[in-house]
Structure 1
Amino acid sequence: MIKTYEEALSFIHGRTQFKKIPTLARMKRFLKELGNPQEGLNYIHITGTNGKGSVVAMMRSILLENGLTVGSFTSPFITRFNERIEYNGVQISNDDLLRLVQKVEPIVEKLDCELATGGPTEFEIDTALMFCYMAEKRPDVVLLEVGIGGLYDSTNVITPVVSVITTVGWDHMKYLGDTLAKIATQKAGIIKRHVPVVIGNLPQEARRVILDDADQKDAPVYRLGVEFSGQKLNNHQFYAKIKYQSTRMYHLEAILGLGGDYQVENAALAIATVEVFMRQQGLTIDRQVLIKGLKETTWPGRLEEINELPLVLLDGAHNLPGIQALVKTIKDDFAEKEVYILVAILADKQYKLMLGELASLGNVHLVVTRFAGPGPKRPSADLEEAVKDIPTKYPVQVVNEWQLGISEIARQMSTEDVMIITGSLYFISDVRKLFTK
C-alpha cells in the first residue's frame, strides 16, 4: 500500500517507459476500469516536435485572463513532477497526487496480471492521474499536451474542440520513424473528424502529410502564414513585439512575456487556437485580454531569464530544432554581445549536429559539460570527444562538473555579456534548482 508522496513518485517512476508494440488498447482499458474520467470535458490537444510547452503556457495565460478555468497537462517537468498536472496555473498538491495514485495502483496491479503485455507504462499512469484530477476539477478547458508523437500517445483517447500541431522535426526517431513524413503521420494522429486543426510552420514533406490527413477527416485547417500570421515588429530585441492578424482579427499588437524570436510563431499559434476554441464554444474574446495574457506568460526553462545583469538564460533546447531556434535568437538579438554557452546533452540526441550549430556562431564561447541524466539507460553524452572535430572561433572548454562550468563562465564574462545554459531539459532542471532555491 502506497502511504506517502515519495512512495507515490517511486511507484510512477518505477514503471516501464515503453512497450514494444504501440497501442491505445491498454490505455482505453485502463481508463474504462477507472470509470472513463476523460469523458465530458473540453480539450485542446497539442502535439509537435518543439513549441508545445510555450504554446500551452500562452494559451493558459490568455484563457485564464478571459475568466475561464483551465486545466493543463505538460511534459517533461522542470523541477518537480507536480508541474505536469495543473489547474488554473497551480500544480496538483502532494496530497491530491498521493490520493489519486492510491486510486489507480490497484487497477495497475490488476492489469499487470490480466494483460499479456503487462499493465500501464509510466506515461500512461501520468495521463490517467491527470484525467482523474480533471474529472474532479471540471475546468472549462483542458490543455492536453502529448508525450511523444500523437497517434499512439496515451493522451489520444479524447475528441478535442481543437487540435494543434506546432512543428515537425527530427526527434524521437526510434519511436516515430526515420523520415519527416513518418514523424508527421504520427503527429497527424491527433486530428479528428470534423475537428479544426491549427498548424504551424511545417517542412513541406510533413505539411503534405498533415493536410492530406486533415482533408480525409474533413477537419478545417488553420495554417500559420495563410489563415493567420504573426511577425516581429521590434528587431534585435529579446522580448518580441508582435503583430498578429487573422481572417477575424486585424492588426493585433502585443509584447510577449516569453523571450526569443521563435516565440513569435508560438504566440501566433496560441492566439489562433484560442480564437478557434472560443468561436467553437460560442464565446467572445477581448483584444486587451489577449495582449495582457501574452505579456504575463511565464514558462520555466524556455529562454527563462534568471539573472538580469549580466543576463543569464536557461533554455531547454533539447534537440536539433530547439538548438537551431536558439541559434536564430542569438543571431537576431545578441549579435553584438559575447555569448557564453554551457551545454549538456543526452547521449540519445543528435548532439554532434547540435554542437556544430552552436559552434558556427562567431560570438559564442562554448563550454561543454555533463550531468547525472534521468537514469542509467539515458546517460549524458561525452561532448568532449564530440567537439574535437568541430571548428570554433574560440577554443571549446571542457568542464566535467557543470557547477564549476557556471563558476568558470562567471569568472570570464563581463556584465555586458550573456550566459546561456542549454541542452537537455533534465540538465536545465538540475541547474534551475540551484538558481531558484
Structure 2
Amino acid sequence: MFQTSEDVIEWINDRKKFGIKPGLERMKWMMEKLDHPERRLRTVHIGGTNGKGSTTTFLRSILQEGGSEVGTFTSPYVECFNERISVDGNPISDEDLVKAAEAIKPLTDELEKTELGAPTEFEIITAMAFYYFARIHPVDILIVEVGLGGRYDSTNIIHPFVSVITNVGYDHMNILGDNLMDIAMEKAGIFKSGQPVITTVQNEEILKKYEEIVQKNRTTLYKLGEEFTYEDLGPTENGESFTVKTLYKTYENLEISMIGRHQIENATLAIMVAEYLRQFYAINVEEEHIREGLKKAYWPARFDIVLEKPTVILDSAHNKEGINSLVETLNRHYPGKKGSILFTALKDKPVDEMLQTLEQLDYPIYFTEIDDPRASTAEELFEKSNATFKEIVKDWQGFLSNKLATQSDDEILIVCGSIYFVSEAKSFLKK
C-alpha cells in the first residue's frame, strides 16, 4: 500500500483538499472499526489559544525525568512531519508511520463511500496517532494537544485524566466565533464529567462560566492565581527564574531555558498538572524531576535563538497573543537592542493588530510571503503596516543569506508571523 514514509505524507497532504469539517462522527466511526484504540490510552488533553506546545513540552520533560515513557500528539510540526507523533520527544519512525497509515487507509477509503463523507487530513493523523499509541507503541501516558478549538476537534473522543486550558484568545474566529466567550466555550468542549480542569485563563467572565460547567460535571477547576501561583524572579542569562506554589508544595528558584514570561506561566501550569497526576494517579514526580525536567525542556520556534553571532530568533508568533508575548520578551531580554523583523502571516489572522504591536519596537519590518492558499501577499501586509521603515522582500532566502553576511553582532533579527514560514526558515537556516 505505502512503500515509504514519503508516500504516507503525500497521501495525508492530499487530504487537505477536504478542508476542515468540524464534528466527531467520522472519528467515532473509525475508532469503532478499530475496536476503540482511544479507550486504551492514559491521556492528558491540552487546549488553548497559545502555549499548548510549550506546556506539553514542559509536562513531558517532567514526567520523563520521573521515569515515565511519554507520548505526545502535537500540531503543527516545525522540522519534520514525524515529530507530530513522538515518544519521549523522539519522532515516530518512518517504519511505524507506514504501519499506522496502512491501518487507517482502508478505513478512509470505506468511510468516503458513506454518508459521513471523506475524513479530513487532521482526522486521519489523529486516528493514526491513537492507533500507534494503543497498538504499536503503548506508553505510560499520552499528552494530546487539541488541533483546533475543542468541542468538535478530532482529538475530543478521549476521556483524559485531566483537561488543560492554557488561555483563550482571538484565533480561528471564522470557525470558533468572533468573541472571546464563544471561543472559550468551544475550548470548554473538552471538559469531561468527573475529570478536573486546570487552567491559566485570567478572564473573570470566562472563569465563571468554566466554574459552572465544572460543577455540572461534578469535578474541580484549578486556576492560576488561586490553587497555584508563581512569582517571577526575572530573566537569567539563558532563560527565566521563578518560584511556584501549588496546593501541595512550594518550589523555590526554578529555572527554564525557554525564554519569556509567558513560558513561566506555561511551566507553572505543567507543574500543577504533574502534581495532580502524582496525587491522583500515582505517577512518579518528585521535586528533582520537576527542576530537571523544566531545565531540559525545549520546544523549537518559540523564541528560538538559532544563531548568536549574529543573533537570529525564530518565533512562531502567529496571532495577536503570540505577537504580544514576542514583543514583551524582546523588551525583557533585549531592551534597547537594535534589530529588524522578517514577517509574514496568514489571511485569517488579525494582521492589523499584530502589526500595531510589532511596530511598537520601531524596528524595520521586511514583508515576505509563502506558497500557501491561506497566505497574505507581501504587498497586502506592506499596505497594512504603518512601520517607519518597511520593505517588500519576495526572496526571503536571499534576504536571510545577505542578512547573515552583513548583520553586526550587536543586532538581532526576528523571523516570525506564521508557523509554516518559521518552519521553512528553520530548515533553510539549518542547511
The interval holding the TM-score normalised by the smaller chain is: over 0.9
What do the CA deviations read for 1:205-232 (whole angstroms, capped 9, x no partner)?
4333322222221221111111111232
Checking the alignment, whether the CA contact within 8 Å between 1:253 and 1:291 is kept in structure 2 is no
Among 379, 387, 398, the alignment partner of 1:384 is 379
Match of 1:296 in 2: 296
The change in CA–CA distance for 1:208 and 1:282 in structure 2 (over 3 A counts) is same
Match of 2:430 in 1: 436
Identity across matched positions, percent: 36
Match of 1:46 in 2: 46
Instruction: Give me the whole-angstrom Cα distance separating, in 2, the residues matched to 1:137 and 1:389.
Output: 48
What do the CA deviations read for 1:232-261 (whole angstroms, capped 9, x no partner)?
212485611111111211143211021122
Equivalent residues in 2 for 1:309-320, closer than 5 Å: 309-320=309-320
State the 1:4 CA deviation. Answer: 2.6
Greater shift in the superposed pair: 214-223 or 1-10: 1-10
Match of 1:370 in 2: 369
Q: CA RMSD in A?
A: 1.8
What do the CA deviations read for 1:108-140 (whole angstroms, capped 9, x no partner)?
111111x21313211111011001110132211
Match of 1:355 in 2: 355
Instruction: Give me the whole-angstrom Cα distance separating, in 2, the residues matched to 1:281 and 1:179.
Output: 37
> Is 1:421 aligned to 2:420, yes or no?
no
**Segments of 4+ moved more than 4 angstroms:** 16-21, 235-238
- Aligned-partner SS, 2:234: coil
Checking the alignment, whether the CA contact within 8 Å between 2:312 and 2:412 is kept in structure 1 is yes
Greater shift in the superposed pair: 399-408 or 173-182: 399-408
The change in CA–CA distance for 1:399 and 1:271 in structure 2 (over 3 A counts) is same
Instruction: Give me the whole-angstrom Cα distance separating, in 1, the residues matched to 2:115 and 2:196.
Output: 37
- Aligned-partner SS, 2:78: coil
Checking the alignment, whether the CA contact within 8 Å between 1:70 and 1:141 is kept in structure 2 is yes
> Is 1:404 aligned to 2:398, yes or no?
yes
The change in CA–CA distance for 1:410 and 1:436 in structure 2 (over 3 A counts) is closer
Checking the alignment, whether the CA contact within 8 Å between 1:61 and 1:293 is kept in structure 2 is yes
Match of 1:259 in 2: 259
Equivalent residues in 2 for 1:333-348, closer than 5 Å: 333-348=333-348
> Is 1:126 aligned to 2:139, yes or no?
no
Structure 2: gaps spanning 5 or more residues:
none
* TM-score, structure 2 as length reference: 0.95
Checking the alignment, whether the CA contact within 8 Å between 2:163 and 2:198 is kept in structure 1 is yes
Match of 1:31 in 2: 31
What do the CA deviations read for 1:381-416 (whole angstroms, capped 9, x no partner)?
134343445433x41122111113324444553211
Structure 1: gaps spanning 5 or more residues:
none
Instruction: Give me the whole-angstrom Cα distance separating, in 2, the residues matched to 1:122 and 1:209.
Output: 32
What do the CA deviations read for 1:167-204 (whole angstroms, capped 9, x no partner)?
10001111111111111111001111121111013333
- Aligned-partner SS, 1:262: helix
Checking the alignment, whether the CA contact within 8 Å between 1:252 and 1:287 is kept in structure 2 is no
The change in CA–CA distance for 1:395 and 1:243 in structure 2 (over 3 A counts) is same
The change in CA–CA distance for 1:18 and 1:230 in structure 2 (over 3 A counts) is farther
> Is 1:223 aligned to 2:217, yes or no?
no
The change in CA–CA distance for 1:389 and 1:149 in structure 2 (over 3 A counts) is closer
Instruction: Give me the whole-angstrom Cα distance separating, in 1, the residues matched to 2:371 and 2:382.
Output: 20
Instruction: Give me the whole-angstrom Cα distance separating, in 2, the residues matched to 1:295 and 1:323.
Output: 24
> Is 1:197 aligned to 2:197, yes or no?
yes
Greater shift in the superposed pair: 302-311 or 71-80: 302-311
- Aligned-partner SS, 1:15: helix
Checking the alignment, whether the CA contact within 8 Å between 2:378 and 2:393 is kept in structure 1 is no
Instruction: Give me the whole-angstrom Cα distance separating, in 1, the residues matched to 2:124 and 2:383.
Output: 42
Checking the alignment, whether the CA contact within 8 Å between 1:230 and 1:267 is kept in structure 2 is no
Match of 1:7 in 2: 7
